[in-house]
């Protein structure tokens, strides 16, 4: 069954307690067209529809890993620090599960490093940024030192969640040396 963009927007617009990502995911199923509508809505700038759409898109990507593959280039092109935190969190989380094409790696690495250094960026975004940067260090070992320095600097003024993840990433990097 293909849900129209209008149907998806209407569902995403209901009050928060009534939204079930599981129910919406079941309605979308494996429909590439409905999934495309979710992606489009997530970049529409209409709040709270945008982050709710990204949330469901990420959930579906976890359940059906092939579903977002045709959209990864589009997602990567839209990634910016100015996007809403909820949308960025969902898409960075999604990107931790997929290879990032070389053409986008520099931009995504810059976005992740910048998000780590900004106090205004939510910790949930930073946690996924750390994971992506860690993955980049596997192909670009010269980033390891920069990432460790950044994480140690940022641990001073960040939450317990940030510190815990940063310590784990630093620990993994130090074991590899």
Burial of 53: CB neighbours in 10 Å, binned 0-12, 13-18, 19+: buried
What pTM was computed for the model?
0.91
The ranges assigned to domains in the chain are 1-82, 99-177
- Tens of pLDDT, residue by residue, the chain (177 residues): 678 888 889 888 876 556 688 888 888 888 999 999 999 999 999 998 999 999 999 999 999 999 999 999 999 999 998 889 999 999 999 999 999 999 999 999 999 999 999 988 999 999 999 999 999 999 999 999 999 999 999 999 889 999 999 999 999 999 987
For residue 104, give Cα distances in angstroms to 39, 111, 161, 177: 18, 11, 28, 27
């Amino acid at each position: 069954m293909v849900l129209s963009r209008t149907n998806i927007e209407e569902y995403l617009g209901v009050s928060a307690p009534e939204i079930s990502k599981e129910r919406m995911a079941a309605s979308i199923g494996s429909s590439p067209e409905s999934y495309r509508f979710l992606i489009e809505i997530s970049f529409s700038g209409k709040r709270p529809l945008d982050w709710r759409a990204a949330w469901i898109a990420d959930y579906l990507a976890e359940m059906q890993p092939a579903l977002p593959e045709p959209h990864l280039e589009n997602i990567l092109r839209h990634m910016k620090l100015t996007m809403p935190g909820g949308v960025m969190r969902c898409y960075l989380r999604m990107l931790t599960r997929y290879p990032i094409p070389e053409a986008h790696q520099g931009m995504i690495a810059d976005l992740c490093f910048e998000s780590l250094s900004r106090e205004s960026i939510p910790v949930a975004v930073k946690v996924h940024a750390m994971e992506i940067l860690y993955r980049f260090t596997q192909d670009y070992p010269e980033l390891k030192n920069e990432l460790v320095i950044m994480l140690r600097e940022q641990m001073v003024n960040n939450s317990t969640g940030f510190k815990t993840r940063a310590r784990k990433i630093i620990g993994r990097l130090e074991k590899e040396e």
